[in-house]
Amino acid sequence: MGLSDDIKSTVIEAYVEKREALKRFLVARFRDEEIAEDIIQEMYLRLNRSSFDQEITNPAAFLYRIASNMALDHRRGRLRRSARDKDWSDVNHNTVCGEPVLDQPDADAALDAKKKVARIVAALDGLPPQCRKVFIAHKFEGLTHRKVAEKFRISRSTVEKHMAKALKYLVHHLKDED
């Protein structure tokens, strides 16, 4: 057994002896026994993997210094994760008055919306073919009135008339189903 192994053995013995006191020290820092236990376990693993090339005159102080450093590392990591999660949330979620707003409706609202779209699509079958094509191009494909007119080689006013006719028909037809 070499000097490094002797030092490691001394440090591990001090760890076993001081384990509960170290845990209380960490619980006092975090007010969370699980975090303290995780750090204590990680501390043992690090000590066991380490090789010691210098004599440690006060193993207890050495262990408290390691526990303190690991606690600081844990706290910094938690703050980094929190900041990263907040940044991600800020970019990927909408807020209203500082409160997060879901980007997607709940399951009931989504089902209701699908049913309404299905009723609209079914109702479109009652429209004349050209009127239906104009409505679908504008409302479902997202084309502007000008683009719809170009696509079907009709005037913008004809597109507007088809849209008015389709909307009037749908309002009347869907009102009867409610």
Q: Give the pLDDT band (50/70/90) at residue 102.
A: low
Confidence at residue 117, expressed as pLDDT on a 0 to 100 scale? 83
Confidence at residue 154, expressed as pLDDT on a 0 to 100 scale? 95
Q: Which of 79-83, 88-92, 98-102, 148-152 shows the lowest per-residue confidence on average (mean pLDDT)? A: 98-102
Contact between 23 and 40 (Cβ < 8 Å): yes
Each residue of 38-79: pLDDT tens digit?
A: 889 999 888 888 787 788 888 889 889 989 998 898 889 888
Contact between 166 and 134 (Cβ < 8 Å): yes
Contact between 157 and 134 (Cβ < 8 Å): no
Mean pLDDT of 76-89: 83
Positive or negative, the CA dihedral 52, 58, 61, 63 is positive
Confidence at residue 56, expressed as pLDDT on a 0 to 100 scale? 80
Confidence at residue 121, expressed as pLDDT on a 0 to 100 scale? 83
By percentage, how much of the chain surpasses pLDDT 70? Answer: 87
Confidence at residue 90, expressed as pLDDT on a 0 to 100 scale? 67
Q: Is the pLDDT of residue 82 over 90?
A: no
CA distances to 36, 89, 173 from 15, rounded to whole Å, are 14, 41, 79
How many whole angstroms separate alpha carbon 3 and alpha carbon 51? 10
Confidence at residue 163, expressed as pLDDT on a 0 to 100 scale? 92
